[in-house]
A and B are shown apart, each in its own frame.
Chain A
Amino acid sequence: MLKRDHLLLSTDEHFKVSHILDDLRHSVGDSEFGYRAQGFLAHALMHLGWTIIDIKPQGHPDVIANLGSQALLLQAKSIHGRTRRQGFSLGQEDLEGIRPKDHNTTGYLAILDCTIPVSWLLVDYCVIRRQVAQPTHVVSLYAMGNKELSSECTEEFVKLVSSHQSHIRNLDFHILCSRALRGEPL
């Protein structure tokens, strides 16, 4: 049970989830947290109707999803207080992973911003490619992001984390991946 549950009973879920993620990150470490963020993103997309084709623990892109003839390539990153203040910098390899191969494919950089209030931020390849290797203010990335898709992913993600808050530590990357790839909701 979260130490701040009592406090958060009536506050906004997005803020509450920030604290849940903060605790989770402290509990599992930055690296595992990054993987889990990737897994949760896949599930959020699944809730939005996408079929998860691939989730890569290594290599690029992190998540590949399909919806009809449309394909999504996603590179997931997570940021929190300190890293957020330093500005976000995307590497060339990460960018290459989400470069669309055809007109039916869209590449997105997906950033999980763990600072309060939590949100996913999806920035189209065509926009983010201009920011490669240069630190960019995260608020600038928000302005560059796909507002609608970011918002949808955030809402689904917040619902997921809130509803699985009690056993969130048990939902490791393997469980998240295998279920997403089987199309099984959490």
Chain B
Amino acid sequence: MPRAKFRLDSVTIEGFKGFADRQTITFSGKHAFLFGKNGIGKSSVVEAIRWCLFGLAERPESEVRNAYYAPGECQVELALQGPGGIWHIRRRLRPGAERSRATITNPAGQEVLQAQVFPYLARMGPKEGTHVIFAAQQATGRRPQADVSDFHKVLYSYLHLEEVPDLLERLDKILEEQKSAREDVASEIEEIEEEIREKLRQAEFSLEELLRNPPWAEGEMPTYAETETRVRSFAQEIADLASKSLGADIPAREALEQAEQWCQGLATANRQELQGKLGQQRGKAANLRNLLQALERIEKNQAEATANVAISEKELASVCDGRTTEDLQKEIELFKTQMHRSASKLEIAKYAEQYCTNYSPAECPACLTRCGAKRLIEKVKLSIEQGTPEQIASAEKLESLKTTHAKVLELNSRLDELKTEIQRAEQGHDSTMTQIRALLGVSNDALLSKEYITTYLSSIDSSIHTLEKTLDSTESSCAQLRKRTETFRSELRFHTYRDKQQRIQRQLTSGLDPVRDQLRELVELENTVHNIRETLGQALNEAIDRALPHLNDMMTDVYQRLTGQESFEKICIQRTNGYGAQSLQVRVGSERIPDQLFDPEDVLNGQANSALRLVPYFVFSQFQAEALELDLLLIDDPSQSFDTSHIDFLLQELADAGSHAQLIIATHEDERFGPQINHYFATDEYEVIGFTKFDVKKGPSFVVDR
């Protein structure tokens, strides 16, 4: 059987696990049986080889460092017999470092990359101490690796389909990523769609609001061109009214705005003009009306005064009774004189009476007539009695005259006042008439009748009424124009909303096409990956299903030879769904119960289980030997893995494996292995290395037994 390209020539260990000082164990490309008691350093050799090749990725590497080794250096170097001489793999964990670093040098001492020498360096090891290491030939590009716990990998390798599960796993990952990306895009698109739909709802709501009272007659929904024509026509109409010019290319909306401004301008100008005229006419009418009233008042006063003059004059005439005031005055003066004279006489008579009474003269003292005192007194008394009524009558007459005189004076005064009043009224009348003439714009010498003025006032009132009607009419026209403007604005708004609605609808349909196409591409890619995955998975399962019967036979054969199992003598691989570690399960069974298979963990003892784990190696490595570059079988203490009561079975299998693999077997059962090695291996094919003692500071001591 062809051997692998590389063979282990030696291993040099320093500061690794039980090893302290640098020591080299030479194998010279042969198998090696490391014998010695437990705890003496054999396992450190097996571990050192494994560590040098793979490091300790899953655990802190400081674990492998020998804590008692003072220099702190930790390194293992493998010397490999290979093409062109000795190749070196050196792994070093520098003092204080957390991670190790490996280097490979070719026989010329040049550093090369692992990928260039052992691109598919792999191992299988069910547990510490048992390692199967092999690397594929670079040219084949295959990656054989095996472990019962990774049985699916062994099988895929055997079927030359070792890349497929990884591929399926990658496809699954891609599918997950694709699905996630697709859902993200879909979610974004749905959000965008929902936003657009909301906008559409708002636009439609606005349209519905507007169409509750459509700005056009029922059933006459205008096209935009119709609305535009109507708006332009309306704007032109306003432009003509306002004596403005409407641009030919001005858009409908701007034309409407322009028309509205002109409308407002027109309305304001008309209103101001009319209101000005109206104010003027109203003022004129009010003035005229006031003047007329004043005139009437004056005339009335004048008439009243004139009437009063007549009455007063008549009364005066009556009071004076044909006399003048002077006559009355003279008469009063005369009476006053008479009154004075009679009063004097009366006074004298009274005095005389007093005298006569007091002195009883016999004669009148005045005329000296002798009549006696008595007679004299009688005469005096008679004189007094006769003189008093006259005086009273005169006094009454005087009083009457005085009253008449006072009345005459009063009447005269009143007449004067009335005449003054009449004069003032005449002046007022003239002044008012002057004002009226001025108001009516006629010359001062023009004759103005009251009728004329009244007619004139009526004409002003009529003019005011006409102006008021014109103003109302103008306001109404402006309101009409505003209403038409609003109607056109509503129409334009309708078209705006409808354009918006249609634009949003387009956004919702064709507008999102690019992103939908992108989503479709994602889905198509996902479907393609799905299809590839399913096809590949199906092909893999079919290949496995075809291979399983033969494989079961081969595994049963090796298993039987390794363990001599009688209770469960048959190995059967069960395929389940999926392609991972659990997809192929190793089951054991028996011809005695053909329909039942069992989990080995449940029915086999520990040693049989351990042996079972190496079965795939023995089965598959034969098929791959020619493809390997490095093929090492490291077994630390086979008694942990095999039923050593059947050591001959084990050695036979190891010898078979040794035909292509280099074996490194460490065991404390040298008494049982030693005598039988020669039966299965030629003496020049192996080295026996005896570990004799162990020193914590120096490490293990060993001798090569040739």
Chain A residues at the B interface, C-beta cutoff of 8 Å: 4, 6-7, 9-12, 14-15, 85, 115-117, 127, 130, 136-140, 142-144, 147
Known: A116-B508, A143-B523. Is A6-B211 also a contact (CB below 8 A)?
yes
| Top 6 A-B pairs, shortest CB-CB distance | A137-B186, A143-B523, A140-B186, A143-B520, A143-B519, A139-B189
In chain B, residues 163-214, which have Cβ atoms closer than 8 Å to a Cβ of chain A? 182-183, 186-187, 189-190, 193-194, 197, 200, 204, 207-208, 211, 214
Give the chain B neighbours of A10 by CB distance below 8 A: 221, 498
Q: Return B443 CB to nearest CB of chain A, in Å.
A: 74
Q: Determine if A117 and B505 form an interchain contact, defined as CB atoms under 8 angstroms apart.
A: yes
Contacts of A147 in B (CB 8 A): 520
Q: Roughly how many angstroms separate A140 CA and B519 CA in the complex, as a whole number?
A: 7
Contact A139 B519 (CB under 8 A): yes
Q: Is B444 close to A, CB under 8 A?
A: no
Cross-chain contact A140 with B508 (CB below 8 angstroms):
no
Q: How far is the CB of B17 from chain A (nearest CB, A)?
A: 52
Of B183, B204, B208, which one neighbours A140 at CB under 8 angstroms? Answer: B183
Query: Known pairs A116-B505, A137-B187. 5 more at Cβ < 8 A?
Result: A7-B204, A11-B505, A116-B200, A143-B520, A143-B523
Given known A140-B182, A143-B516, contact A11–B197 (CB-CB < 8 A): no
Chain A nearest CB from B445 CB (Å) reads 78
Residues of chain A within 8 A of B22, CB atoms compared: none
What is the predominant secondary structure among interface residues of chain A facing chain B?
Answer: helix
Contact B519 A12 (CB under 8 A): no
The residues of A that contact B437 with a CB separation of less than 8 Å are none
Q: Smallest CB–CB gap between A150 and chain B, Å?
A: 12
Q: How far is the CB of B616 from chain A (nearest CB, A)?
A: 35
Chain A residues within 8 Å of B182, by CB? 140, 143
| Given A116-B200, A117-B508, A127-B527, A139:B516 Cβ within 8 A | yes
Contacts of A115 in B (CB 8 A): 197
Does B284 sit within 8 A of A, measured CB to CB? no
Contact among A4, A15, A116, A143 with B208 in the assembled complex (CB-CB below 8 Å): A4
Verify if B502 is at the interface (C-beta below 8 Å from A). Answer: yes
Residues on B with C-beta less than 8 A from A142 are 516, 519-520
Q: Which residue of A lies closest to B518 (CB)?
A: A143
What residue in chain B is nearest A130 (Cβ atoms)? B530
List chain A residues, Cβ under 8 A from B519. 139-140, 142-143
A127's nearest neighbour on chain B, judged by CB, is B527
B401 at the interface (CB under 8 A from A): no
Which chain B positions have C-beta within 8 A of A4? 204, 208
Contact assessment for A137 and B183 in the assembled complex, using a CB-CB cutoff below 8 Å? yes
The complex places the Cα of A116 from the Cα of B507 at a distance, in Å, of: 12
**Cα-based distance from A141 to B161 in the complex (angstroms):** 35
| C-alpha gap A131/B527 in the complex (Å) | 11
The residues of B that contact A9 with a CB separation of less than 8 Å are: 221
21 contacts between A and B (CB under 8 A): A4-B204, A6-B211, A6-B221, A7-B208, A7-B211, A9-B221, A11-B498, A12-B505, A14-B509, A15-B505, A85-B190, A116-B508, A117-B505, A137-B186, A139-B190, A140-B183, A140-B519, A140-B523, A143-B516, A143-B523, A144-B523
> How many whole Å from B253's CB to the nearest CB in chain A?
20
The answer, yes or no, to whether B319 is at the interface (CB within 8 Å) is no
CA of A58 to CA of B502, assembled, Å: 40
Interface size, B (range)? 20 to 34
Distance (whole angstroms) from the CB of B469 to the closest CB of chain A:
41
The 8 A CB mask of B485-498 against A (1 = contact, 0 = none) is 00000000000001
Contact across chains for B522 and A143 when beta carbons are under 8 A apart: yes
Minimum CB distance partner of B519 in chain A: A143
Residues on B lying within 8 angstroms of A by beta carbon are: 182-183, 186-187, 189-190, 193-194, 197, 200, 204, 207-208, 211, 214, 221, 498, 501-502, 505, 508-509, 516, 519-520, 522-523, 527, 530
* Residue of chain A at shortest CB distance from B205: A7
Chain A residues within an 8 Å CB radius of B207: 7
A18 to B544, CA, bound (A): 54
A139 touches B186 (CB 8 A): yes
* Nearest-Cβ distance from residue B512 to partner chain A, whole angstroms: 9
- Determine the distance from Cα of A147 to Cα of B214 in the docked complex, in whole angstroms: 40
Q: Determine the chain A residues whose CB is within 8 A of the CB of B505 once the complex forms.
A: 11-12, 15, 116-117
For B212, the closest partner residue in chain A by CB is A6
Q: How far is the CB of B146 from chain A (nearest CB, A)?
A: 34
Min CB–CB distance A140 → chain B (angstroms): 4
B186 touches which one: A6, A116, A143 (CB < 8 A)? A143
Give chain B nearest CB distance to A17 CB in angstroms. 13
Question: Which residues of A lie under 8 Å from residue B498 when comparing CB positions?
Answer: 10-11
Distance from B518 Cβ to chain A, minimum over Cβ atoms (Å): 9
A144 cross-chain contacts in B, Cβ below 8 A: 523, 527
Determine the chain B residues whose CB is within 8 A of the CB of A7 once the complex forms. 204, 207-208, 211
Query: What's the least CB distance linking B513 to chain A, in Å?
Result: 11
Beyond A6-B211, A7-B208, A117-B509, is A139–B193 a contact (Cβ under 8 Å)? yes
Q: Shortest Cβ distance from B198 into chain A, in angstroms?
A: 11
Q: What CA separation (Å) do A85 and B516 show in the bound complex? A: 17
Q: Bound state CA distance, A144 and B187, in angstroms?
A: 15
- Chain A: which residue is nearest B183 at the CB level? A137
In the complex, which residues of chain B have a beta carbon less than 8 angstroms from the beta carbon of A85?
Answer: 190, 194
Bound-complex Cα distance A170 to B399 (A) = 128
A119 to chain B, nearest CB (A): 9
CB distance from B507 to the nearest CB of A (A): 11
**Could you tell me the distance in whole angstroms from the C-beta of B344 to the nearest C-beta in chain A?**
129
Give CA–CA (A139, B519) in the complex, Å: 8
Closest Cβ of chain A: how far from B187's Cβ, in Å?
6
Which residue on chain B has the smallest CB distance to residue A8?
Answer: B204
CA distance A115 to B201 in the complex (A): 12
A130 to B509, CA, bound (A): 27
Inter-chain CA distance A136–B183, complex, in Å, is 8
Q: Is the CB of A11 within 8 A of B523?
A: no
- The complex places the Cα of A6 from the Cα of B519 at a distance, in Å, of 36
Cα(A137)–Cα(B596), bound, Å:
46
Q: With a 10 A CB-CB cut-off, give which of A9, A12, A116, A143 has the most chain B CB atoms.
A: A143
A12 to B503, CA, bound (A): 11
A138 to B516, CA, bound (A): 12
A85 to B211, CA, bound (A): 31
Q: Could you tell me the distance between the alpha carbons of A161 and B330 in the complex, rounded to whole angstroms?
A: 133
Q: Which chain A residue shows the least CB distance to B201?
A: A116
Chain B residue with the shortest CB-CB distance to A147: B520
Distance of A52 Cα from B516 Cα, bound (Å): 32
A-side contacts of B523, CB under 8 Å: 140, 143-144
| CB-based contact B190/A137 at 8 Å | yes
> Residue on B with the closest CB to A137?
B186
**Which chain A residue shows the least CB distance to B182?**
A140
Q: Contacts A116-B197, A117-B509 given: A11-B186 contact, CB under 8 Å?
A: no
A142 to B512, CA, bound (A): 12
**A143-B520, A143-B523, A144-B523 in contact; A138/B190 too (CB < 8 A)?**
yes
How many whole Å from A38's CB to the nearest CB in chain B? Answer: 25
Least CB distance from B183 to A in Å reads 6
* Contact partners of B522 in chain A: CB under 8 A: 143
Separation in Å of the B439 CB from the closest CB of chain A? 64
A12/B502 contact (C-beta < 8 A), A116-B508, A142-B516 known: yes
Whether B508 contacts A11 by the Cβ 8 Å rule is no
A48 to B523, CA, bound (A): 27
Chain A residues positioned under 8 Å from B197 (CB to CB): 115-116
> CB-CB < 8 A to A139: which residues of B?
186, 189-190, 193, 516, 519
* B183 touching A11, Cβ below 8 Å: no
Q: Which residues of A contact B527 (CB under 8 A)?
A: 127, 144
